[in-house]
Amino acid sequence: MGELAKLSISEAQRGLAKGDITAFELTEDCLKEAKNSTKLNAFCVITEELALKQAKAADQKINEKKNAKLTGIPIGIKDIFCTYGIKAQAASKILSGFIPPYESTVTKKLWDAGAVMVGKLNMDEFAMGSSNETSVYGPCINPWRAADNRADLTPGGSSGGSGAALAANLCLATTGTDTGGSIRQPAAFTGTVGLKPTYGRCSRWGIIAFASSLDQAGPMTKTVRDSAILLSAMSGYDPKDSTSMQMEAPDFESFLGKNIEGKKIGIPREYRIEGMPAEVEDLWKEGTRKLAAAGAEIIDISLPNTKFALPTYYVIAPAEASSNLARYDGVRFGQRANIEEGEGINEMYKKTRQLGFGEEVKRRVMIGTYVLSAGFYDAYYIRAQKVRTLIQNDFIEVFNKGIDSILTPTTPSSAFKIYDKAKQNPLDMYLNDVFTVTANLAGLPAISVPSGKDKVGLPLGLQLIGKPWCEGELLNIAEVLEKETLFDRFPQKWW
């Protein structure tokens, strides 16, 4: 039991095509693994009945030679995607009981491509967090453990359940969303591959909004090739999303397998931050060496406004969150607080939000409300947008000079203990996004590739940032880095 669930998408595709396995067997194995892994708390809903129904239909299509790219492939869906007839809470109490009467564009594309839904995955509440500790379902646990300590570790966030489910082999792939690093950081913490596409590549329609100018859906997978396969299915223009780019999604898998001789890889000096652990620095140097050995030209570059990225992000993202979350009032859907006789609608709004939102969401809504308020709008929000433009211009200038991709660490550390940072200073948690937020502010594609382990055996990732709309080229470079990095990519089972 569990052997089929360990397959990658590409391996499963070959097995299904040859008739060595069936979609029903593959799905059944993933469901068993998911149901037997409750200690990880990766799934908030397991959709067994639907999954087996989809798997039977997939086998019929395969037998009739009518199968699509993902026919019979079991995947998990982050709880932030609306799924028809299946609850979608964004891990928040305020959305208790919300069952969407519609399907998000991304998940519809996946079902149209033949994918099978194993269930919905745990996450930080409204995608606000870097540790999956703010969830109404409780924290998700990383399948990895340190060699010298059996303590529970965070899988990262906000797509923590997506990363944990992959690392534990509970499904073959998962979806995530990335607003400031919420795909790439958990990918680094769980030894998986996480890709944030160019802003506008994947539709945001039907995804519960956090920060609308930053949110982007993307694949989380076991291999770079699988990310290419899944991204092709997820991408494409959507008239229901005004930020969706009017371009066809290419076959990203076709970009893989090419040599990178002569490709120019930028190494930004500003990412060498004070206090960076030596093992992260060493990993970065080793990744640079491997790409150079594969024929790439390594060039030192400067992104001078990087130092402003984190404060800029934590003005813009909360501002947009405070606007988006104003719709949760207890009137039309979700939880509604009871009010005393004589209290009016304002009291009902106040109590509903007080009881329905968690502490981190309240914190960010308050920050966002403050920076958008009269007297502070120009000083904070408008200034942050101007700095965002400077950060975007840094990347434009570098890419205009011929740089093909930029290599950085994904995170400043490996996975940390559950509640370890939150108990100290919640603001320290924001520093986990120090290497990832720039790609969101600039709208660029970026991928985290598992690249080694730290001294206690926990996975570490390296990040590649690419040119806009050049995910194919980015994936090809990432696959070269992946092939040059050999280590045990999956944890020993303890759960």
pLDDT interval class at 424 (50, 70, 90): low
| Residue 223 three-state SS | coil
| Strands 74-78, 173-177: pairing kind | parallel
Say if residues 97 and 335 touch (Cβ distance below 8 Å).
yes
Tens digits of residue pLDDT in 100-147: 999 999 999 999 999 999 999 999 999 999 999 999 999 999 999 999
Whether the predicted pLDDT of 346 surpasses 90: no
Start-to-end Cα distance in the chain: 15
Whether the predicted pLDDT of 23 surpasses 70: yes
Percent above pLDDT 90 for the chain: 89
Give the pLDDT confidence score for residue 334 in this predicted structure: 81
Say if residues 40 and 143 touch (Cβ distance below 8 Å).
yes
pLDDT interval class at 1 (50, 70, 90): low
Catalytic residue among 37, 78, 131, 203: 78
Give the pLDDT confidence score for residue 60 in this predicted structure: 97
Q: What is the mean pLDDT of residues 263-275?
A: 94
Tokens of 460: 């570490």
Tens digits of residue pLDDT in 472-483: 999 999 999 999
Catalytic residue among 10, 37, 104, 158: 158
Amino acid at 120: K
d(CA 418, CA 414): 13
Give the pLDDT confidence score for residue 14 in this predicted structure: 97
Q: How many structural domains compose the chain?
A: 1
Give the pLDDT confidence score for residue 422 in this predicted structure: 66
d(CA 35, CA 218): 25
Q: Which residues have a Cβ under 8 Å from the Cβ of 203 and sit 6 or more positions away?
A: 104, 105, 106, 217, 236, 237, 238, 240, 241, 244
CATH number at residue 424: 3.90.1300.10
Catalytic residue among 10, 104, 131, 182: 182
For residue 219, the enclosing domain spans: 1-495
Query: Cα 207 to the chain's mean position, in Å?
Result: 13
Q: What is the mean pLDDT of residues 202-226?
A: 98
**Active-site residue 373, yes or no?**
no
User: How many CB atoms neighbour CB 14 within 10 A?
Assistant: 13
Give the pLDDT confidence score for residue 423 in this predicted structure: 62
Give the pLDDT confidence score for residue 274 in this predicted structure: 85
Tens digits of residue pLDDT in 440-462: 999 999 999 999 999 999 999 99
**Active-site residue 203, yes or no?**
no
Tokens of 80: 């932030």
Closest CA to 439 of 134, 183, 79: 183
Q: What is the mean pLDDT of residues 50-67?
A: 97
Give the pLDDT confidence score for residue 337 in this predicted structure: 85
Tens digits of residue pLDDT in 374-401: 989 999 999 999 999 999 999 999 999 9
**Active-site residue 35, yes or no?**
no
pTM of the full structure: 0.97
| Residue 13 three-state SS | helix
Tokens of 274: 């004070």
Maximum distance among all alpha carbons in the chain? 74
How high is the mean pLDDT of the chain?
A: 96
